[in-house]
Amino acid sequence: MSPHRPIDYGEASGRARAVFDDIKRTRKVEDVNNFWKYLAHDPATLERTWASVKEIMAPGALDALTKEMLYLAVSVTNGCGYCIASHGAAARKAGMSEAMFGELMAVVGMANETNRLANGYRVPVDPAFDS
Amino acid sequence: MSPHRPIDYGEASGRARAVFDDIKRTRKVEDVNNFWKYLAHDPATLERTWASVKEIMAPGALDALTKEMLYLAVSVTNGCGYCIASHGAAARKAGMSEAMFGELMAVVGMANETNRLANGYRVPVDPAFDS
Amino acid sequence: MSPHRPIDYGEASGRARAVFDDIKRTRKVEDVNNFWKYLAHDPATLERTWASVKEIMAPGALDALTKEMLYLAVSVTNGCGYCIASHGAAARKAGMSEAMFGELMAVVGMANETNRLANGYRVPVDPAFDS
Amino acid sequence: MSPHRPIDYGEASGRARAVFDDIKRTRKVEDVNNFWKYLAHDPATLERTWASVKEIMAPGALDALTKEMLYLAVSVTNGCGYCIASHGAAARKAGMSEAMFGELMAVVGMANETNRLANGYRVPVDPAFDS
Amino acid sequence: MSPHRPIDYGEASGRARAVFDDIKRTRKVEDVNNFWKYLAHDPATLERTWASVKEIMAPGALDALTKEMLYLAVSVTNGCGYCIASHGAAARKAGMSEAMFGELMAVVGMANETNRLANGYRVPVDPAFDS
Amino acid sequence: MSPHRPIDYGEASGRARAVFDDIKRTRKVEDVNNFWKYLAHDPATLERTWASVKEIMAPGALDALTKEMLYLAVSVTNGCGYCIASHGAAARKAGMSEAMFGELMAVVGMANETNRLANGYRVPVDPAFDS
C-alpha cells in the first residue's frame, strides 16, 4: 500500500487508532490532521512521534504559544510547506495575533540573513560567548 | 584589506564609528561584538543591518526574550556556529533560563524531525489550514 | 525558449537524443522522466549529469537499493519534492519495501533532530573520533 | 550551569546516570560520547532522545550498517561537524569500508546537485510517480 | 485577517500604498508582485524589506544582472519555489540568456555537490586561504 | 587508511597523480588544495569531480569571475566553511574586489531573508512568472 495516501480511523490498525484517540482527547479535536494519517503507515513511528510531540509541546518553562512559534520559525527556515501551514494554524489557535506573526516573520527573516553574513565574513566567536 | 579580520573602533571609518556608538548606547555595552567589527568592512551593510536589527529586535507584540529565542532557533537549524554562540548569550541576558533553553532545544529538534517526516511522506495540506 | 517546459524526444537535439537513448537502454524504460526532459535545454549539463548518475548509481561496494535509499534520504532532508517522488519510486523499484521506507524515514527524521541538538549544545568532537 | 560543557558520570543526576548505564550496556562501551554528556543538562531530552535512537537504530527491515550510513548521509547534507565525525565512526564500526564510504559520499554529493537542478529547472512530478 | 492572501492597492493602507507606488516607479511596472502584496499585512516589514532590496539591488560594484543571478543561485539552493520563479523572471529581464541560465545552474549544482564532499571528507582549510 | 587525512603527490596513486598534474597545469599552481588531496582517497570521485569542475568553471556564456561568485554565494548559503574559504580566495584571484565581495554578501543575505518571507507568508507564484 503506497504510503502517500492518508489512513483514516476506519481503516487504521488498533495501534494507530489508540494514538488517534489520544491525539483527539489531548487536543480536543474531532479528527486528526493529515500528518498523523500518513504516519499511520508506520505505527511505531506514529506512536513515538506523538509521544514525543505530546511531551515536548506541553507547557513547562516555556508556554504553549512560545513553543508553537519556535516550531513555526524552524518550519519557515526549512521551507516545509505542510509544517508552515499546520504550525501556523496551531500558533494562531494558541493565541498568536497577526501582529505577533508579523514580528516572528521579521525575526526569522533577519536571522536567516545575519546567519549568512556571519558565515561569509567568517566571523570568529567572541571569547566572551564561551565563558 | 582582507574582510576576514575585525575592524576596531580606533581604525573604523566615521560612518562605522557612528554605528558602533549607537550599538553601544542602545545595548549599554562597552564594546561591540566581532560580528559588527567584521561588517565594518562594508559600512553600507553595517548601517543597514544594524538599523534593521535594532528595529526588529525592539519589544513590540513580542517581547525581547521571545525574539532572541526565535533567533536562536533559526541559528541552530541553520547550524551557524557564531550565531548560536552570540544569540545564545543574548537570550540568556534577556532572561532565558537553562530550563527554557532545554525546552527550546527540544522543540527545535522535534520540528526539524517532523519537517522531514512531512516531506518524505508527501503529506498534503489539510483544507482546514487554508481557510 | 523557456527552460521551464519539457523537451520531448521528437524535438530534442541529436546530442540530447543520444542521452535519452542511453537512459532508456540502461534503465530498460520506454521514456525518460521529466528531469531529463528539462535538462535537455542544456545538452552539456544533460550529458555530464547522466554520465555521473550512471557511474555513481551502478552497483559497486554498495548495492543499487542502498544507493537509492541514500539518495532518498538526502532528498527528504533537502525537501526537494520532485526528487522525493522520483527517488522514492526508484527505491521501490530497486526493492525498498514499505517497512524499509518506514525505517528509512525514522532514521532521517532522527538524524535531522540530533544534528540540531549537537549544533545547539555546541558539542565538541570526541578525541576518539579523530584518531 | 552553562549547558556548553559535558556532564560526566560522577556529577550526573540519577536519571542521567541510568541513561548513561543503558547506553554503555547496549553499545558495550566504556564511556558515553560527548553528545550524551551535553544532553545530560536536560534529563528529559536525554531520556527521550536515547529511547528514540535505541529503538530506531536497532536492526529491523534495515540492518544496522544501512541505518548508520543513512544517518551519515543526512549529517553530511546538513553540514553537522559533530554528527559527521560520530556517525562516520559508528558506520565504520558497523562495517562500512572505505570503498563504501567513497560511494556513499559520491551519492550524497550527486543527490545534493540534482536536488538543485530539479529545483532550478522547476521540474514537475511525473504522473507515474503519483500512482 | 489571514496573512495568507494578497492585499491589493485598493485595500492597502496609506503606508503600504506609498511602498507600492515607489516599487512601480522604480521598476517601471504596472503592478507589484504577490510578494509585496502579502508583505503588506505588515507595513513595517514591507517598508524595511523594500528599502533594503532597493538599496542592495541597485547597480554598484556589481551590475544588476550579476546581482539577480546571485539571488537566483541562493533561491535555488534553498529550494524557495516562489523566489526561483520571481528572480528567474527578474534575471531574464535584466539580460540573462538561456545559455547563461544553463551555466548558472551547472555552477549551483556543482557547488552544492562539492560543499558536501568537503563536509563529508572533513577537509581542513588550507593555510594559504587564511593569509 | 582513514579518509580524513590528505594524500600528497608522493603517496598518491597513478590515477590520482594524473588528476593532480592536470589541476596544476590548468590552474598554473605549484600544488593542489586540500580538497583534492582528500578526494584522492577515492580516485573515481577525484577524476569525475575534477572533470566536472574543469568543464563547468571554464568561461562560457558567463565569465570566470561571475562563476566563482555564484559558487561563493551557494557556499555561504550552505555554511560550508572550507568552501567559503577556498572559493572566496578563488573569486579574489579571478578579480573580485572587496567592494564586489561586500555587495555579493549583501545580496546573499537579503536573498536568504526574502526566501523565508516568501515561505512564511505562503506567497503563490504570480501567473506572469509561469508564462
| pLDDT tens for each residue of C59-90 | 999 999 999 999 999 999 999 999 999 999 99
Q: Which residues of chain A lie closer than 8 angstroms to D56, CB-CB?
A: 48
Amino acid at D71: Y
Q: For testing the chain A interface, which of C101, C108, C113 should be mutated: the one with the most A CBs within 10 Å?
A: C101
| pLDDT tens for each residue of B82-128 | 999 999 999 999 999 999 999 999 999 999 999 999 999 999 999 99
For range F85-114, the mean pLDDT: 98
pLDDT at position A20, please?
A: 98
Interchain pair A73, B75: CB under 8 A = no
Interchain pair F112, A112: CB under 8 A = yes
Interchain pair D39, C77: CB under 8 A = no
Q: How many CB atoms lie within 10 A of CB A117?
A: 25
Of B106, F105, B60, give the one whose Cα is nearest residue A101. B60
Cell of E74: 541562493
For range E26-54, the mean pLDDT: 97
Query: Which chains have 3 or more CB–CB distances shorter than 8 Å to chain B?
Result: A, C, D, E, F
How large is the ipTM?
0.97
Minimal CA separation from D66 to chain E, in Å: 17
Of A83, E54, E7, B59, give the one whose Cα is nearest residue F106. E54
Q: Measured between alpha carbons, how far is residue F35 from residues C19, F10, F22, F48 in Å?
A: 31, 16, 15, 14
Closest chain A residue to the Cα of C108, Cα to Cα: A45
Amino acid at C22: D
**Side-chain-facing half-sphere of C50: CA atoms under 13 Å:** 26
CB F6 within 8 A of CB F37: yes
Amino acid at B58: A
Q: Which residues of chain A lie closer than 8 angstroms to E45, CB-CB?
A: 102, 105-106, 109
Q: Which residues of chain E lie closer than 8 angstroms to D113, CB-CB?
A: 109-110, 112-113
pLDDT at position C3, please?
A: 67
Three-state SS for C57-119 is HCCCCCCHHHHHHHHHHHHHHHCCHHHHHHHHHHHHHCCCCHHHHHHHHHHHHHHHHHHHHHH
Interchain pair B4, E130: CB under 8 A = yes
Minimal CA separation from F14 to chain A, in Å: 37
> In this structure, what DSSP letter does residue D102 have?
H
CB D115 within 8 A of CB C75: yes
Closest chain E residue to the Cα of B54, Cα to Cα: E48
Q: How far is the C-alpha of C34 from the C-alpha of C4, rounded, in Å?
A: 11
Interchain pair D112, E110: CB under 8 A = no
Q: How far is the C-alpha of A96 from the C-alpha of A94, rounded, in Å?
A: 6
Whether the per-residue pLDDT at A1 is higher than 70: the answer is no
Interchain pair B42, F106: CB under 8 A = yes
Amino acid at E99: A
For range E53-80, the mean pLDDT: 98
Contact partners, residue A95, CB within 8 Å, separation at least 6: A65
pLDDT at position D3, please?
A: 67
Whether the per-residue pLDDT at C6 is higher than 90: the answer is yes
Amino acid at F87: H
Q: Which of residues 86-115 of C touch A (CB under 8 A)?
A: 88, 98, 101-102, 105-106, 109
Q: What is the pTM of this model?
A: 0.97
Whether the per-residue pLDDT at E109 is higher than 70: the answer is yes
* Phi/psi-derived region of residue E95, left when phi > 0, alpha when psi is between -120 and 50, beta in every other case: left
| pLDDT tens for each residue of B7-54 | 999 999 999 999 999 999 999 999 999 999 999 999 999 999 999 999
Whether the per-residue pLDDT at E1 is higher than 60: the answer is no
Residue in C69, C81, C119 nearest the CB of D70: C69
Residue in D42, D78, D79 nearest the CB of B102: D42
> How distant is the alpha carbon of residue A98 from its chain centre?
19
Q: How far is the C-alpha of E89 from the C-alpha of C1, rounded, in Å?
A: 13
Helices E98-120 + D98-120 axis angle, to 10: 150
Interchain pair D76, E108: CB under 8 A = no
> How distant is the alpha carbon of residue E121 from its chain centre?
32
Q: Which residues of chain D lie closer than 8 angstroms to A52, CB-CB?
A: 48, 52
pLDDT at position D130, please?
A: 80
| pLDDT tens for each residue of D64-75 | 999 999 999 999
CB C79 within 8 A of CB A79: yes
Minimal CA separation from A97 to chain D, in Å: 30
Cell of A8: 483514516
Alpha helices in chain A (DSSP H): 14-27, 34-39, 43-57, 64-78, 81-93, 98-120, 127-130
Give me the sign of the Cα torsion angle B12, B15, B20, B25: positive
pLDDT at position B2, please?
A: 65
Question: Residue A4 — very low, low, confident or very high, per pLDDT cuts 50/70/90?
Answer: confident
Q: Which residues of chain B lie closer than 8 angstroms to C120, CB-CB?
A: 72, 76, 84, 88, 105, 108-109
Whether the per-residue pLDDT at E18 is higher than 60: the answer is yes
Residue in D3, D70, D106 nearest the CB of C73: D70
Q: Which of residues 37-56 of C touch A (CB under 8 A)?
A: none
Cell of B37: 567589527
CB E74 within 8 A of CB F24: no
Burial of C121 (0-12, 13-18, 19+ CB in 10 A): buried
Of F81, E64, E29, give the one whose Cα is nearest residue E72. E64
> In this structure, what DSSP letter does residue A9 have?
G
Whether the per-residue pLDDT at D99 is higher than 60: the answer is yes
Query: Which chains have 3 or more CB–CB distances shorter than 8 Å to chain C?
Result: A, B, D, E, F
Q: Does D84 reach chain E within 8 Å, measured CB to CB?
A: yes
Interchain pair D44, A52: CB under 8 A = no
Q: Does E127 reach chain C within 8 Å, measured CB to CB?
A: no
Question: Residue C131 — very low, low, confident or very high, per pLDDT cuts 50/70/90?
Answer: low
| pLDDT tens for each residue of F49-75 | 999 999 999 999 999 999 999 999 999
* φ, ψ dihedrals at E96, nearest 5°: -70, 120
| pLDDT tens for each residue of C8-61 | 999 999 999 999 999 999 999 999 999 999 999 999 999 999 999 999 999 999
pLDDT at position C4, please?
A: 78
Interchain pair C112, B112: CB under 8 A = yes
Minimal CA separation from F69 to chain A, in Å: 12
Of F19, E120, F75, F52, give the one whose Cα is nearest residue C50. F52
Q: Which residues of chain B lie closer than 8 angstroms to F106, CB-CB?
A: 42, 44-45, 48
* φ, ψ dihedrals at F127, nearest 5°: -55, -35
Whether the per-residue pLDDT at A3 is higher than 70: the answer is no
Residue in B79, B102, B106 nearest the CB of D79: B79
Amino acid at E95: G
